[in-house]
């Protein structure tokens, strides 16, 4: 093995072990010794991004894309970096490569119609289909009505079974949303053009300034099921307030889950806030609610939560949601419910950088790690702020 190859292998090992500074040292040493392989530059770009040196990382990614425009993995990673920095114009354009990589090609839906480019297509039918995770769908459902107005077309929305009920109640459907709904996996009616839900921003040239905010009359675009709201109201009415929904772990199969999730035990400082916590956690981590940190008053609700409709109804009664970056955050934001999000030092692109609010959801507040892996500071800030809300106070 050559010196450069050995240093590269060491760099990847350091990166996998959570030592990006050492990985950077290996990458730079190999590059200085004359190793110019794109994999070394890629290693350097990733190590800089993980350390939070996003601007430096962007320069390396831009250099790689200029020299290797056909490397679509690098272009997709560049897209996420651009979006994280708020450069939506370039970011959405590069984001279209998300299904052109070797490992994502099988996920792309093969559609024998042109992708909508944002221009009006009156008297024609536009198929919009959801993609990726549940949180993505909750976040971008708002754009269906916008696409209806822009395209002047008949809109057919194809969506997964778990979220179709929300789409049926989507605010704006009576003034320009979907004209028809069809489940994913079911053959849609004939259509003239299509667009993935997360390609709508590219087609419509979405900018940060286009996102409606509180000052411009922003209103929630999702609503809960009234029957579920009534049912959960009966169950939760006797619990002492404030009622705080709690989610401490995301989907384990998510590529970045180790960076965004934690254990319930780590949230022990929240036990002293006087709140009643509603464990909305699903999946393997839900069992942790059976043995919470000492002094934490927690109601394990996971067994009674059948779907997102139950989660939405609970959030309607809760004073607040405290959560890692997960689908319930997007559901709370789309419902207009207050939520506090615990974010890693370098978060997912949609949360941007260096701000405690988000243009996507006016009712959501962000609590960021000040340094990589520093959840303790985040939890202390959450606990202190939560104590300041006062018992019994509605969100």
CATH topology of domain 3-101: 1.25.40
Domain boundaries, the chain: 3-101, 125-206, 226-389
Tokens matching residue 68: 């290797």
* Fold adopted by 226-389: Rossmann fold (3.40.50)
Give the model's pLDDT for residue 394: 42
Distance of CA 245 to the CA centre of its chain: 18
Q: Return d(Cα 287, Cα 266) in angstroms, integer.
A: 15
Torsion of CA 125, 130, 131, 135, to 10 degrees: 150
pLDDT computed for residue 4 by the predictor: 87
Judged on CB neighbours under 10 Å (0-12, 13-18, 19+), 125 is buried
Q: Are 270 and 379 in contact (CB under 8 A)?
A: yes
Pick the closest to residue 107 from 98, 96, 118, 116 (CA basis).
98
Burial class (CB in 10 A: 0-12, 13-18, 19+), 216: exposed
Cα atoms in the 13 Å half-sphere on the side-chain side of 113: 16
181 touches 167 (CB < 8 A)? yes
For residue 17 the two structure tokens come to 């072990």
Q: Report mean pLDDT in 10-residue bins for the chain, 395 residues.
A: 84 95 97 86 97 97 94 94 96 89 62 92 96 93 93 95 93 66 94 95 93 72 96 97 95 67 96 96 95 96 97 98 97 97 96 95 96 96 89 42
pLDDT for res 98: 87
Enumerate the H helices of the chain as residue ranges. 3-16, 20-32, 38-50, 54-67, 72-84, 88-95, 134-140, 143-151, 164-168, 200-204, 226-236, 257-260, 308-317, 327-335, 375-389
pTM summary value: 0.93
d(CA 377, CA 373): 10
Instruction: Return the structure tokens found at 65.
Output: 């894309």
CB neighbour burial string for 304-338, b if at least 16 within 10 angstroms, e if fewer: ebeebbbbbbbbbbbbbbbbbbbbbbbbbbbbbbb
What is residue 2's three-state secondary structure? coil
Which pLDDT belongs to residue 391? 46
Residue 388: per-residue pLDDT: 82
Using CA atoms, how far apart are residues 71 and 100, in angstroms rounded to an integer?
A: 10
Cα-Cα-Cα-Cα dihedral sign, residues 118, 119, 121, 122: positive
Whole-angstrom distance, CA of residue 325 vs CA of residue 347: 9
| Residue 233, token pair as written in the block | 């109201």
Q: Which of 317, 314, 273 is nearest to 296 (CA)?
A: 273
């Amino acid at each position: 093995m050559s010196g450069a190859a050995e240093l590269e292998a060491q760099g990847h090992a350091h990166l996998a072990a959570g030592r990006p500074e050492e990985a950077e040292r290996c990458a730079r040493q190999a590059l200085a010794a004359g190793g110019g392989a794109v994999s070394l530059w890629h290693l350097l770009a990733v190590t800089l991004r993980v350390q939070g040196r996003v601007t430096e990382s962007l320069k390396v990614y831009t250099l790689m894309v200029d020299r290797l425009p056909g490397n679509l993995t690098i272009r997709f990673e560049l897209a996420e970096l651009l979006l994280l920095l708020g450069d939506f114009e370039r970011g959405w354009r590069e984001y279209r490569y998300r299904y052109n990589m070797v490992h994502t090609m099988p996920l792309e839906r093969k559609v024998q119609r042109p992708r909508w480019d944002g221009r009006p297509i009156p008297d024609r039918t536009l198929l919009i289909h959801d993609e990726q995770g549940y949180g993505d769908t909750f976040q971008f459902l708002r754009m269906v009505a916008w696409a209806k107005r822009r395209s002047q077309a008949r809109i057919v929305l194809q969506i997964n079974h778990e979220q179709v009920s929300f789409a049926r109640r989507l605010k704006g459907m009576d003034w320009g949303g979907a004209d028809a709904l069809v489940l994913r996996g079911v053959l849609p009616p004939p259509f003239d053009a299509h667009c993935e839900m997360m390609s709508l921003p590219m087609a419509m040239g979405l900018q940060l300034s286009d996102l409606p905010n509180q000052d411009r009359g922003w209103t929630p675009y999702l609503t809960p099921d009234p029957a579920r709201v009534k049912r959960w109201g009966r169950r939760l009415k006797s619990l002492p307030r404030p009622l705080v929904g709690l989610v401490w772990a995301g989907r384990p199969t998510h590529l970045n889950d180790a960076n965004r999730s934690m254990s319930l035990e780590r949230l022990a400082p929240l036990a002293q806030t006087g709140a009643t916590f509603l464990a909305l956690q699903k999946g393997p981590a839900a069992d942790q609610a059976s043995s919470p940190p000492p002094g934490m008053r927690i109601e394990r609700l996971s067994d009674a939560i059948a779907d997102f409709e139950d989660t939405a109804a609970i959030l309607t009664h809760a004073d607040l949601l405290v959560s890692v970056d997960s689908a319930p955050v997007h559901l709370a934001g789309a419902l207009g419910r207050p939520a506090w999000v615990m974010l890693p030092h370098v978060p997912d692109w949609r949360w941007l950088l260096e701000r405690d609010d988000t243009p996507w959801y006016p009712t959501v507040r962000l609590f960021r790690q000040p340094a990589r892996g520093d959840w303790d500071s985040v939890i202390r800030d959450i606990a202190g702020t939560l104590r300041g809300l006062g018992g019994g106070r509605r969100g």
